[in-house]
Amino acid sequence: MLEEKYDAVTGPRAAPAQHGEAAFFDVDNTLMRGASLFHVARKMHQRGAFTLPEVAGFAWKQFMFILRGENMDDVHAVRDSALTLAAGITVADVEALGEEVYDEMIESRIWPGAKALAEQHLRVGRKVWLVTGTPIEVATVISTRLGLTGALGTVGEIVDGAYTGRLVGEILHGPAKAMAVRGIAESEGLDLTRCWAYSDSHNDIPLLGMVGHPVAINPDSRLRRHARENNWPVYDFRSGRRAATLGLKAATVGGAVYGLWRGTSRLRGPGH
């Protein structure tokens, strides 16, 4: 149960820091409607970075990825393609793109209910981290704009301000998220049994299962079933009906990363 302290005159007031406690939020379809990198890909299309046939191919890859379900073989295959396309792109390009996409496309898609949960954790003195497969540069923009503590995201190796085409570690997906959170817990002195985690995807069950307060938000069918079997709270912020999974999940870790790097690879210009 989240607790909130009030001042008789001014209303809600910040509580002392809750040492050892934190909350971890997935981003795509948990904190926001849809997938962040899908909107990055849309922005790249607006800039003429790729054509309509390429957009159609991008959408088909997303569809097939969802139809088959996510597995680590798929993730590794997409990772290899994405890294090849990423080599040579500058960090400044991705950071600037992240700022634009947040202002124009992401901000309006933040779930008010999920944002309220994050803000309530902050008000009672808990740190709030985003944990996402999105590149850390984009995840950091979202975290900063929302006033959160920080972000854990996929980290690309950078030399002289440009991506080398290699990762530092793995795509932050599935079990890798749990490992990253465990690392933060050790460095921050967190007691995971007193921490919260929020996600929409069954792929994040390793993360949800390692904290004392797991919460399913807008869950897919497998996570909804798992949450019900384990008596986890379920919040569904999709109005009026269950949102179409293929629409909201159109850019999960595989297709979304592919779409981002397929578009931004052309930022390098001719000769690369």
Residue 129 has pLDDT above 90, yes or no: yes
Q: What is the mean pLDDT of residues 49-71?
A: 52
What is the per-residue pLDDT for 90?
79
What is the per-residue pLDDT for 30?
93
What is the per-residue pLDDT for 59?
55
pLDDT averaged over every residue in the chain: 76
Q: What is the mean pLDDT of residues 119-140?
A: 92
What is the per-residue pLDDT for 95?
81
Residue 260 has pLDDT above 80, yes or no: no
For the segment 178-216, what is each residue's pLDDT rounded down to a tens digit?
A: 999 999 999 999 999 999 999 999 999 999 999 999 999
pLDDT band at 262 (very low <50, low <70, confident <90, very high): very low
Q: What is the DSSP string of 244-255?
A: PHHHHTTT-HHH
Per CATH, the number for 17-268 is: 3.40.50.1000
Instruction: Please pick, among 7, 26, 73, 236, the residue that the annotation labels catalytic.
Output: 26
Query: When comparing pLDDT for 137 and 79, which is higher?
Result: 137
Residue showing tokens 């709030």: 128
pLDDT band at 124 (very low <50, low <70, confident <90, very high): very high
Neighbours of 115 (CB within 10 A): 16
What is the per-residue pLDDT for 5?
44
What is the per-residue pLDDT for 258?
40
- What is the reported pTM? 0.75
What is the per-residue pLDDT for 236?
94
Query: Is 190 within 8 Å of 19 (Cβ atoms)?
Result: no
Residue 71 has pLDDT above 50, yes or no: no
- Beta-strand relationship, 127-135 and 150-154: parallel
Residue 141 has pLDDT above 80, yes or no: yes
pLDDT band at 157 (very low <50, low <70, confident <90, very high): confident
**How many angstroms separate the first and last alpha carbons of the chain?**
53
* 241 to 179, 236, 244, 252: CA distances (angstroms): 34, 10, 9, 21
Alpha-carbon dihedral sign for residues 169, 173, 175, 179: positive
Instruction: Please pick, among 28, 200, 204, 220, the residue that the annotation labels catalytic.
Output: 28
What is the per-residue pLDDT for 135?
80
> In the chain, what percentage of residues exceed pLDDT 90?
42
Q: What is the mean pLDDT of residues 36-44?
A: 69
28 among known catalytic residues: yes
Residue 46 has pLDDT above 90, yes or no: no
Q: What is the mean pLDDT of residues 47-70?
A: 52
26 among known catalytic residues: yes
Among the residues of 124-266, which ranges form H helices? 136-145, 175-188, 205-209, 221-229, 245-248, 253-264
What is the per-residue pLDDT for 244?
40
